[in-house]
Chain A
Amino acid sequence: MPGSDDTGTSGAATGLGRGFRPGRAALVVYLMAGYPDRATSLAALHAAAAAGADVIELGVPYGDPVADGPVIAEAAGVAREGGFGLAETIELAREFLGEPAEGAPPVHGDTGTGHTETPPVALMTYLNPLMRFGLPRAADAMRTAGVSGVIVPDMPPEAARPWLVVAEGLDTVFLAAPTSTPSRFAAIASASSGFVYCVSSTGVTGERATLREGLAGLVEQIRAAATLPVAVGFGVSTPEQAAEVARIADGVVVGSAVVRRQHDPASVGEFVTLLRKALDRAVANET
């Protein structure tokens, strides 16, 4: 199983773990590949990276996104109409990872770590596009493109063997939910590599006014089972919420609130800058 013996050093070299650094809350930014078109989504990727995203979660457009809310589902529909699927998404990632944005400013913040390299990319895809493409072929294409890993919301650990045996060198992030039982936290943690994705609430992705009570306890339970970093997503939509999450988790995933701005890469950059500042402030106030 790739990454299962990950001590944090091998993952830090090439994997998603590189996005998680001590003294800094990782900002995981979700963007939909090919939305509203290829060029704009590429510009949005560069804008997010330049504004301080630590990990990019790149969505693969799919026709039945059962875990996603209306913003991401509609963006997927637009991207699919533009001919976007897994192959096109991998190609987009290859281009993004191959050519860092020119003149990308160093990240704002008081951690002093600097941030000029391109953040690692995880593809967020449903299982069937992977299967249709062919699991070994998909893994090869991702490795060649420089993609660091995948998040597959409809592939629980029990169903992941066929993927994991071909996914050497790629991190596979599994999701833990508020409904997960303690024994499942252990299974999810041991199957995951890169980081563990904590779903903040039941339901689909999308912006929510308030975060679920008991989130801190949930993150603690996952932490107790995992040696990997824990990132929280689903429903995080404002800098204030992101800061709240940064106080209890290693990373914050922001999706729908970014995709809603994705038609305008400049506003993606501005929004990611606000999130970055909020996270850095939250961590600074902690210490």
Chain B
Amino acid sequence: MTDPLLPSAELAYSSPDAQGFFGPYGGTFVPETVIPALEELTAAFAEAIADPAFAEEFGTLLEDYIGRPTPLYRADRLAEATGLARVYLKREDLTHTGAHKINNTVGQCLLARRMGKHRVIAETGAGQHGVATATAAALLGLECSVFMGTEDMRRQSLNVYKMRLLGAEVVPVGEGAGTLADAVTAALRHWVERVEDTFYVLGSAVGPHPYPAMVREFQKVIGEETLVQLEGRLERTPDAVVACIGGGSNAIGMFYPFLRALPPGERPLLVGAEAAGLGVETDRHGAALTKGSPGVLHGFYSYLLQDDAGNPLEAYSISAGLDYPGVGPEHSYLKDEGFVRYEAVTDTEALDAFALLTRTEGIIPAIESSHALAMLPRLAAELGPDAVVVVNVSGRGDKDMDIVREAGLGAG
């Protein structure tokens, strides 16, 4: 795929390198058994994105199947309520299946089919990536198994049902906390066993090379569309662009085109909102960038919540999509370079933002996306009333009804 927004002059931002490193982060730290599969995948991915036929097929599905471009909606009542001049919402919640995850799963499943793999596996936290994988697998006629923690299956039972309806097998993972990290480990283990006929559709910008670069490639359409949509509507660059971060796929999809198109001095403030859970001063959060330290988990080197002996810690968030102890390696690099600012948002702040968007605009966002929305009052305080902010609404909130009801929202 060509990069229409890419200046031909020297790049202000380029990575990863050939070994998949973003600065010191990323790489390939996995058992030997899967290395040949990763090498095969790296070659197939490079070949596919250089092939105009692949780009055309992916582009057609993005448009006709997923429903792209998604709108960039000017949310005036939300802007007024948060004390900002303008707020633009990138409506990934309006994609087919209701979250940005589908961009990546259609891309990866197309690649799986191109590589002659008949079977795909995936891990899922909130269930959105699982549903998106099951959907793409149904579309392309692939066999599909989704690994999901038992705690997440409880929290997101509707998505479990949806995956089964779509013809996927849902494999419960009872180890550990029964959440996303455990599902990733189980999927990796399974892949080690069935590597010869199975394609692992990884759902976030994490994992060994080439996954972080590949997920970014399939998600960068979010930021590319946003740049085009802002043109003509706004005489200037927005002051800030915000996205939530679990592994970081919607955020990198939004940020990357801004990083590529604009030199550092002309970029908006890029802000990633990670999960502070019950507070970063407690041990119940998912703020790897705010509170973690570099280490290796799930095949890559990045900021990580870990104990003194190097064991990964359990992450917590009210949102099943953000309770991951690691974060995509590119985000670790962007943090260290100062290209993106990362802040942590508590469960309570996210629920408040959820309620605010629902009541002011009639849009029910995912709890994950609510973490990004919760940055708006903070940005208003910092940037002032003339500021213009873009927020990526990465998914819709239908899946979260039980959780917000349990939290007591809408009761009063």
Give the B-binding residues of A (Cβ under 8 A).
Answer: 62-64, 66-67, 73, 80, 85-87, 126-133, 153-156, 158-159, 174-181, 184, 188, 199, 202-204
Contacts and interface: CB of A to CB of B under 8 A. Distances in A.
Nearest to B311: A63
Interface in B301-319: 304, 306-312
A234 to B, nearest CB: 9
Interface centre among B306, B307, B309 (most CB of A within 10 A): B309
A132 B311 CA distance: 9
B51 interface: no
A213 to B, nearest CB: 14
Contact of A67 (B31, B175, B307, B308): B31
Contacts of B37: 179
B196 A158 contact: no
A177 B311 contact: no
8 contacts: A66-B185, A128-B296, A131-B310, A177-B35, A177-B36, A179-B35, A202-B193, A203-B193
Contacts of B36: 177, 179-181, 184
A67 B189 CA distance: 7
A202 B308 contact: no
B138 interface: no
B32 interface: yes
Interface centre among B31, B36, B37 (most CB of A within 10 A): B31
A64 B32 contact: no
B165 to A, nearest CB: 30
A179 B195 contact: yes
A130 B31 CA distance: 16
Contact of B309 (A87, A156, A179, A180): A87
Given A62-B310, A155-B29, A156-B30, 12 more contacts: A63-B307, A80-B309, A86-B309, A87-B309, A126-B296, A131-B295, A132-B310, A154-B299, A177-B32, A179-B36, A179-B195, A179-B196
Contacts of B310: 62, 85-86, 128-133
A64 B312 contact: yes
State the 5 A-B residue pairs at the shortest beta-carbon distance, nearest first: A85-B309, A132-B310, A63-B311, A203-B193, A129-B310
A153 B31 CA distance: 5
A132 B30 contact: no
Given A62-B311, A156-B35, A128 B28 contact: no
B32 A156 contact: yes
B30 to A, nearest CB: 6
Nearest to B301: A131
B297 interface: yes
Nearest to B39: A181
B210 to A, nearest CB: 14
A128 B34 CA distance: 19
Interface residues of B, number: 36
A228 to B, nearest CB: 16
Given A129-B310, A175-B32, A184-B35, A202 B195 contact: yes
A129 B192 contact: no
A158 B194 CA distance: 23
B295 A154 contact: no
A174 B193 CA distance: 19
Contact of A156 (B28, B181, B295): B28
A152 B195 CA distance: 20
Contacts of A179: 32-37, 195-196
B29 A154 contact: yes
Given A67-B192, A158-B19, A202-B193, A176 B32 contact: yes
Contacts of A87: 309
B27 A159 contact: yes
Interface string B80-115: 000000000000000000000000000000000000
B188 interface: yes
Contacts of A62: 310-311
Contact of B189 (A126, A133, A158, A204): A204
Given A128-B296, A128-B310, A129-B309, A188 B32 contact: yes
Interface string B183-201: 0010011001111100000
A159 B195 CA distance: 21
Given A129-B310, A179-B33, A180-B36, A158 B28 contact: yes
Nearest to B313: A63
A196 to B, nearest CB: 11
A205 to B, nearest CB: 10
Contacts of A86: 309-310
A174 B30 CA distance: 12
A111 B302 CA distance: 51
B296 A131 contact: yes
B21 to A, nearest CB: 10
B311 A127 contact: no
Nearest to A234: B33
Contacts of B299: 154
A202 B189 CA distance: 10
Contacts of A66: 30-31, 185, 188-189, 192, 298
Nearest to B310: A132
A127 B296 contact: yes
A181 B192 CA distance: 15
A85 B194 contact: no
Contacts of B296: 126-128, 131, 154
B298 to A, nearest CB: 8
Contact of B311 (A64, A130, A131, A174): A64
B306 A132 contact: yes
A176 B35 CA distance: 10
A159 B29 contact: yes
A184 B32 CA distance: 9
Given A202-B192, A202-B195, A132 B308 contact: yes
A181 B308 CA distance: 37
Contacts of A178: 33
A128 B295 CA distance: 6
B33 A202 contact: yes
A12 B152 CA distance: 52
Interface string B6-33: 0000000000000100000001111111
